[in-house]
């Protein structure tokens, strides 16, 4: 049975005056992101696999990011609504790897049937240059701190880029699922961003920084 690789990307504008700091904070909490899906039944943190048995590699940080966290391992229970019930029913448990990036996060999903997907969540900005069409651009971490979405500023977006791999048999089903889920997840993210309540007080991912040369 042959496998195929494909990518689906989408972005949704953030409402004016929302907090970019809070947007990044949400994306640095795996549970907050994974539970944006109404099909998520729950999740549990897993210990890191032993090095000799692990084939997973930490996703490489894109050059624009100046900080990444250590990889986290999770088990997620999901309803798996996109699979026809005659093929799969009763939900599923899958493993996920989470890495917090300076401008978002990366979540790699390993589901049954050979389906894998690395989902890159990013907070990006619309840039308009003279004589050019507007484009979405990643912003350096230091420029995200205390950024504002007020009038007169370039628009901010939440973007998801999914790099997926699955059996050619399920290609159409998975592509349709990714397209619909991006819209649903981005809408849920914006609703969470507008909530007055903050995230639970928990330890945020440790971000790797350059060590000081001062002795």
* Residue 62, pLDDT score: 41
What would the pLDDT profile of 180-210 be if each residue is shown by its tens digit?
999 999 999 999 998 865 555 444 444 444 3
Is the pLDDT score of 138 beyond 80? no
On whether the CB atoms of residues 185 and 37 are closer than 8 A, the answer is yes
The answer to whether residue 140 sits within a structural domain is yes
Quote the domain boundaries for residue 155: 3-47+63-194
> What is the average pLDDT score of the chain?
78
The answer to whether residue 207 sits within a structural domain is no
Angle 69-121-58 (CA atoms, 0-180°, nearest 5)?
35
Does the pTM surpass 0.85? The reply is no
The answer to whether residue 94 sits within a structural domain is yes
Residue that wins the pLDDT comparison between 103 and 139 = 103
The answer to whether residue 122 sits within a structural domain is yes
Percent of the chain whose pLDDT exceeds 70: 67
Rounded Cα distance between 121 and 188, Å, is 13
The answer to whether residue 123 sits within a structural domain is yes
Q: What are phi and psi of 8, to 5 degrees?
A: -130, 130
* Residue 100, pLDDT score: 95
Cα–Cα nearest to 33, from 123, 146, 137 = 123
The answer to whether residue 114 sits within a structural domain is yes
What would the pLDDT profile of 61-110 be if each residue is shown by its tens digit?
343 444 456 899 999 998 765 555 555 556 788 899 999 999 999 999 99
Q: Residues 121-125: what's their mean pLDDT? A: 94
Tally of domains within the chain: 1
Q: Could you give the residue ranges of the DSSP H alpha helices within the chain?
A: 20-27, 30-34, 141-144, 171-194
Count the neighbouring beta carbons within 10 Å of the beta carbon of residue 108: 20
The answer to whether residue 83 sits within a structural domain is yes
The answer to whether residue 102 sits within a structural domain is yes
* Residue 104, pLDDT score: 95
- Please enumerate in sequence order all residues whose Cβ is within 8 A of that of 126, keeping only pairs 6 or more positions apart, or say none: 134, 135, 136, 137, 154, 155, 156, 157
CATH number of the domain within which 173 lies: 3.30.530.20
Is the pLDDT score of 119 beyond 70? yes
Rounded Cα distance between 102 and 122, Å, is 9
């Amino acid at each position: 049975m042959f496998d195929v690789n494909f990518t689906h990307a989408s972005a949704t504008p953030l409402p004016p005056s929302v907090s970019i700091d809070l947007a990044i904070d949400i994306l640095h909490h795996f549970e907050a992101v994974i539970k944006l899906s109404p099909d998520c039944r729950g999740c549990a943190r897993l210990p890191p696999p032993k090095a000799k048995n692990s084939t997973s590699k930490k996703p490489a940080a894109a050059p624009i990011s100046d900080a990444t966290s250590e990889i986290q391992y999770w088990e997620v229970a999901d309803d798996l609504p996109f699979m026809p019930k005659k093929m799969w029913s009763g939900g599923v448990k899958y493993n996920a790897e989470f890495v917090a990036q300076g401008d978002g996060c990366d979540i790699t999903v390993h589901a049954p049937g050979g389906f894998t997907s690395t989902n890159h969540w990013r907070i990006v900005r619309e840039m308009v240059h003279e004589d050019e069409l507007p484009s979405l651009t990643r912003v350096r971490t230091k420029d995200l701190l205390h950024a504002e979405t007020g009038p007169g500023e370039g628009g901010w977006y939440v973007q998801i880029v999914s790099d997926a791999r699955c059996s050619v048999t399920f290609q159409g089903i998975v592509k349709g699922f990714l397209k619909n889920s991006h819209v649903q997840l981005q809408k849920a993210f914006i609703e969470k961003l507008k909530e007055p309540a903050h995230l639970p007080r928990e330890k945020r991912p440790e971000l790797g920084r350059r060590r000081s040369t001062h002795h």
